[in-house]
Structure formats: C-alpha cells, structure tokens
Amino acid sequence: MSLYHEAAEFLVSSSSGGGSLKSRVFKKKNLKSPPNQLYALVLESCKWSPVIKEVIEKSDLLKLERKLTPPLSLLLVHDLLLAKKGIALPQSHGLRASVERHRGRLTSELTRARLRRKAASIAELKEQIDKESAGEEANYPRWVRVNAVKSSLEAQLETTFSTFTRASSVQDVINKPGKHLFIDPHVPNLLAITSGTDLTKTEAYTSGKIILQDKASCFPAYLLDPRSEDGDLIDACAAPGNKTTHLAAILKEHQPEFETSPQTIYAFEKDSRRAQTLEKMVTTAGSKPTTRIGFGQDFLQVDPHAERYKSVGALLLDPSCSGSGIVGRDSMPELHLPELSSTTEKETAGKMSKRKRKHVEVEAEPLNVMVDDDGNETVMKSDQDLEARLEALSAFQLTLLTHAFRFPSATKITYSTCSVHMQENERVVMRALQSDIAKERNWRIMLRKDQVTGMKEWPVRGLTSACGDDGDIADACIRSYKDDGQGVMGFFVAGFMRIGARDAGSGDDDEGPYLRDDDGAIMRDVLGMPVLKSTGIPVSLNARDEVGSEGEKQENHDEEDEEDEEDEEDDNSSSDNSAAEIATDARYQQEVGVLSIIEDEWQGCGD
C-alpha cells in the first residue's frame, strides 16, 4: 500500500474522533510507510485542506480523474503544490500522473486561492494557515526554562532572546504580533515567549542551556525546594527528565559556599527505553555528575531501607496519569474534503465501494479513547469506564506515594500529575494522609504558608469539596487548568512534610548528616553553618576550591557511579522491557520533541 493510501486511511479516520493522530500513527502496527513521514503528511494536508479543497473543486480535478477519491486527491495535490520534493511516487505511477497532468490548472487555482486570502506569497499564506490551524495551542505561550547548571537568565536574555521585545504579561505574549517574552513572576529562571518560535535549532537548546518545559511542569521541583541539608534526592518516575534536570539546577543554585557532602539525585525510570532518553537529557543538561539513573528500575522495587538511600531527604513523585491536562493532546486541524458534484459523487462512491474499499477503509472508531501520558489507550464507552480507569490510576499513584513515605530520612515530598481529575489529585492526597504509614511517620500536607514564595503566591488552588471540605488542605494543593488564563497546561501538585518526626526503629541517622532541634530544623552556629551529627561541630568554612580540585572530586564520583551502575544493572535484571513505543507517548514526545521531522509544528507543552 502506498504512502498516500495509508495516509488517506488516517486522514478520514482522524475526523471521526478518538485518540490523537500522533498516538494512532505511532501505535499502528505493520505500517508500510515511515511513521514520521506519514504523520507529517496527514497533519500538513489537514492544515492546508481549506485551501486545497477550493483548488481541487475549482479545477474540476475529481470530475476529470474519476479514479481519485477526495482524501487521495487532497494528499496528492498537497504534495504536488507544497511539498519540497513533490509527490513521493515514481514518475510512472498512475496516481502521480493523474494529478501531475493537471499541474497548470492546479497551480493557477492555488494562486487564486492565495490572492483571495490577500497573502502576498506562499510563505505568507503558510503563516495564515499555521495560525488558523493552531487550535487550542494558539492560546499558550512557549515556556522556556533557563538551565542554571549551564547558563543564567541574564546570559540568555542577552543572547538567545536578544531580539525579543519584553511584554508586560503572558496574555501580551500570546496576543501581540511579533516576538515577545515575559519573565515569569512565580518560577525562577522561566520565560514565556511567543508560541510557534522554533528554538530547537538554537545553540542554547542543543547545548542544554535552555529546556522547553511548561510552567506548571516546573512546579514540583520548585515546590520541593531541595537544599544541601536535604541530602540525596529521588525522582521516582523520571523520564524524560524535565524535573530531574530541574532538581539538579535548583541544587546548583542552592549550593552553599562552604564544603558540604556531595548530593546525588537518584532518578528511577521503569521503562528502559525512556530511561535512555532520560540519560540523554540529563547529559545534555549537564546534570550527569549529580544524577544516577535507575535504568528500567521500578520505584516500587526500591528498598527504602537500603544503605544507599539512607541520606535521601526529599523525593519528587510525578507518576503516570490520565494526561487530561495536556494542551493539544487531541488537536487535529479540521479536515475540509473536496466535494464531488452530485452525479459524480454517486458514481465515485459506487466505484470506491467496489474497487478502493480495501485501501480507504475507515476504521471503526470507539466512542472515546483515553490516551494516558504513557501513550496507553483505553476505550471509554461510558462514564463508568472512565471512573474505573481513574480509580485504577489513583490506586497506582497512591501506592507510589505511600512507598515514598517509607524512606527513613525523607522530610519532603512533592506529588504531581498532569491530570485535572480530582480522583488522581486531591483524592490521592487525602487517602495518602489517612494512610497508616503517614500517621506512623508524621507526614502532613505542606501548607500554603510553608511553601516557596512563588507557589504560595500562585492563585489557583485545590478543590475543597474533594478535600473533605478541609480548606487548609485544599489551599495547600496547587492546581492549574488549561483554560484558566494563566497560559499553562492542566496540572496538580501537592507537597508533604515531615517535621519534628522521629523515626522509630531506624536509629539516629535517619534525618541526614546534621543535628536537628525538637522541631526538626537543622541546628546552625552563629554564622548559619549547619552542625554535623558526626562531630558536633559546624561544617568547615573552607571555600570549595581550597578543599581540592573539582576535577579530583568529579573523578571520584564517576568511579562511584560506575560501581553503582553495575549494582543497578544487577538490580534491574528482571525489569520490564516490554514498554509501549516511545514514539506513542504523547506527553513524552511533547517533552522531548522527538519528531524532528515536524519540528516546525512542534508546539508541545515541553513538560
């Protein structure tokens, strides 16, 4: 089957709803054409369909070429008139010939269609088309996090964004013509820039100085606020690594002047293929020295009491979820198919049913398909189906969260989803707080007053009704909705704290290397230096470069890494490698920008 026949199937089935085009193309088994090429062809043809429909109808192409169906004609004319390399079929191929022999007529009709739209050139027409077809993504800026491990906001404003005009609000960035930027008032080192700006080819992007990450997706690491006294960190569900690299950047910014024990971020990822992307991202972002990746490692199989994790003071938990908050998940421009005159329509329909049915068969689409953020599709035939799916996700999320509660030295946790369903959010929080392990270890919600400034000030909070009418817990929960005017994706995050807790049974060494007072706060001397448990004296005031060269330290850490990687390989020998195709994970693709072929279209949330 040719590229065009396969594309025609997707084109027609895309208009009948259910699942995103991206997940349908990349999940389809036994495709003959390269998925990237297929996806780009269907998406582009759909975007251009209002114009091409006019061109085909006015040139009478379907009357003159009775073998062509409307979807096939749309795809072929798109490639003839707009693709750089023209129609991707051999010159002698019948389909190609049936369109190419009308090149003159079709080209003149395209010029007329362009002039009717008052576009001076095809490039100008393309701009119009891109804007009209941007769907809900047109209402969002492109969020860019400056990676403090490799650069600074100031440096990026002077280089990558030097030609951007400062806007006074996110709404101005969205609405004003031209290239604008706005420095986010809540999350440090975050910028909103005009959407549609392709940064993927800039030096800053390719070298990891900037990371495309939705604002809401920056909340969990920022809320966790890891500091040197928190010891080691865990990112329990880490790929593709936006939050892991954000944690590393925050650690770098919080690094004290004086010498402290090096901190490690343990980043676990159950899916081995995604773990490889995680590694790439961590490497590009310059966070490799501080990060140890658990390739294919299920967080639930990690023993909280293992020696290696005894200094883990803070955990970030961002598990798989329904992905209902993702922007542009199902966005597919409206399809405009050329129409046949009524007599031709009947004839062609008859022919199609006999001859072409095997090519242009439209797959029966389920009523509604939920594509979660791991790319798994679940058919939803009723509200009960949706409720059952959410309940299953909620139970899995709760298990992960209560597992995180078990780490003996942990005093801070953030839990997040990109879902807007309370079942995956407030309900998980409430159940976690009521769990035996939470009570046993004195975990409580991180109240709004205890949160970092930007999160305290963020206006959109949890649902009181879903928190048993407890206003304080609802206020502690942080939410965002796609349509709340803040220009961010739908998201949820809550923090948990364990202050003043004593961990029965795990000895004195369960809360990191420093002495703590009765409230759990780290004890410091007059200069603010934390006092070490081991010596009873404050840590040394030696500047970092007086203690030994960074090179030496790095080398030691690397050796340790190698040993640990070997251990981890052993740990993971039984890991599950049968994960869904990376390319089918919508959120995942948005996060990493995997589809370089359609980078121009890439408007993902970057989460």
Ligand X SMILES: C[S@@+](CC[C@H](N)C(=O)[O-])C[C@H]1O[C@@H](n2cnc3c(N)ncnc32)[C@H](O)[C@@H]1O
Catalytic residue list? 418
Cβ 61 vs Cβ 91: under 8 Å: no
Output the six-digit token pair for 531: 């006092």
Which residue in 79, 229, 374, 571 binds ligand X (CB under 6 A)?
374
Place of tokens 């995180």: 404
CB of 591 to ligand X, least distance (A): 5
Our CB check for ligand X shows the closer of 6 and 373 to be 373
Number of residues that bind ligand X (CB under 6 A): 22
270 binds ligand X, rule: CB under 6 A = yes
SS3 71: helix
State the Cα–Cα distance between residues 30 and 88, nearest whole angstrom: 20
**Interacting span for ligand X (CB under 6 A) from 318-326, 331-339, 531-539, 598-606:** 318-326
Per-residue mark of binding to ligand X, 219-238 (x: CB under 6 A): ------------------xx
CB of 467 to ligand X, least distance (A): 23
Our CB check for ligand X shows the closer of 184 and 298 to be 298
395 binds ligand X, rule: CB under 6 A = no
Which residue in 19, 71, 240, 512 binds ligand X (CB under 6 A)?
240
State the Cα–Cα distance between residues 230 and 3, nearest whole angstrom: 55
State the Cα–Cα distance between residues 401 and 1, nearest whole angstrom: 48
Our CB check for ligand X shows the closer of 48 and 588 to be 588
CB of 401 to ligand X, least distance (A): 11
Residues annotated within a binding site: 237-243, 269, 298, 318
Q: Report the residue number whose CB is nearest to ligand X.
A: 237
**Interacting span for ligand X (CB under 6 A) from 83-91, 117-125, 292-300, 435-443:** 292-300
CB of 11 to ligand X, least distance (A): 30
> φ, ψ for residue 416 (rounded to 5)?
-145, 155
- With 0-12 / 13-18 / 19 or more C-beta atoms within 10 angstroms meaning exposed / middle / buried, residue 117 is middle
State the Cα–Cα distance between residues 450 and 221, nearest whole angstrom: 15
Our CB check for ligand X shows the closer of 320 and 331 to be 320
Our CB check for ligand X shows the closer of 258 and 492 to be 492
CB of 311 to ligand X, least distance (A): 20
Question: What is the DSSP secondary-structure string of 519-587?
Answer: TSPBPB-TT-PBBBTTTSSBPP--BHHHH--HHHHHHHHHHHHHHHHHHHHHHGGG----PPPGGG-HH
Please state whether beta strands 190-193 and 142-146 pair in parallel, antiparallel, or not at all (unpaired). Answer: antiparallel
Our CB check for ligand X shows the closer of 174 and 420 to be 420
319 binds ligand X, rule: CB under 6 A = yes
Which residue in 23, 263, 287, 320 binds ligand X (CB under 6 A)?
320
Question: What is the DSSP secondary-structure string of 480-526?
Answer: E-TTSSSS---EEEEEEE--S---TTS-GGGG-SB-B-TTSPBPB-T
300 binds ligand X, rule: CB under 6 A = yes
Which residue in 59, 242, 260, 397 binds ligand X (CB under 6 A)?
242
What is the distance, to the nearest Å, from the Cα of residue 459 to the centroid of all Cα atoms in its chain?
23
DSSP symbol at 148? T
Please state whether beta strands 232-235 and 265-269 pair in parallel, antiparallel, or not at all (unpaired). Answer: parallel
Residues annotated within a binding site for S-adenosyl-L-methionine: 237-243, 269, 298, 318
- DSSP lists the bridge partners of residue 532 as 514
Which residue in 299, 443, 491, 602 binds ligand X (CB under 6 A)?
299
CA distances from residue 576 to 76, 295, 341, 378 in whole angstroms, order as listed: 43, 10, 55, 21
CB of 269 to ligand X, least distance (A): 5
Which residue in 298, 377, 503, 601 binds ligand X (CB under 6 A)?
298
State the Cα–Cα distance between residues 548 and 29, nearest whole angstrom: 56
What is the gyration radius of the CA atoms in the chain, in angstroms?
A: 27
284 binds ligand X, rule: CB under 6 A = no
Per-residue mark of binding to ligand X, 179-218 (x: CB under 6 A): --------------------------------------x-
CA distances from residue 69 to 60, 61, 74, 352, 364 in whole angstroms, order as listed: 13, 10, 9, 8, 19
260 binds ligand X, rule: CB under 6 A = no
Residue type, position 433, single letter? L
Our CB check for ligand X shows the closer of 57 and 298 to be 298
Output the six-digit token pair for 443: 């975990």
568 binds ligand X, rule: CB under 6 A = no
Which residue in 243, 421, 444, 498 binds ligand X (CB under 6 A)?
243
CB of 244 to ligand X, least distance (A): 7
State the Cα–Cα distance between residues 509 and 194, nearest whole angstrom: 50
Our CB check for ligand X shows the closer of 99 and 428 to be 428
326 binds ligand X, rule: CB under 6 A = no
Which residue in 318, 568, 571, 601 binds ligand X (CB under 6 A)?
318
Which residue in 57, 568, 591, 601 binds ligand X (CB under 6 A)?
591
373 binds ligand X, rule: CB under 6 A = yes
Cβ neighbors of 214 (< 8 A, separation 6 or more) are: 143, 327, 488, 489, 491, 605, 606, 607
State the Cα–Cα distance between residues 25 and 36, nearest whole angstrom: 9
For binding to ligand X (CB under 6 A), which residues are involved? 217, 237-243, 268-271, 274, 298-300, 318-320, 373-374, 591
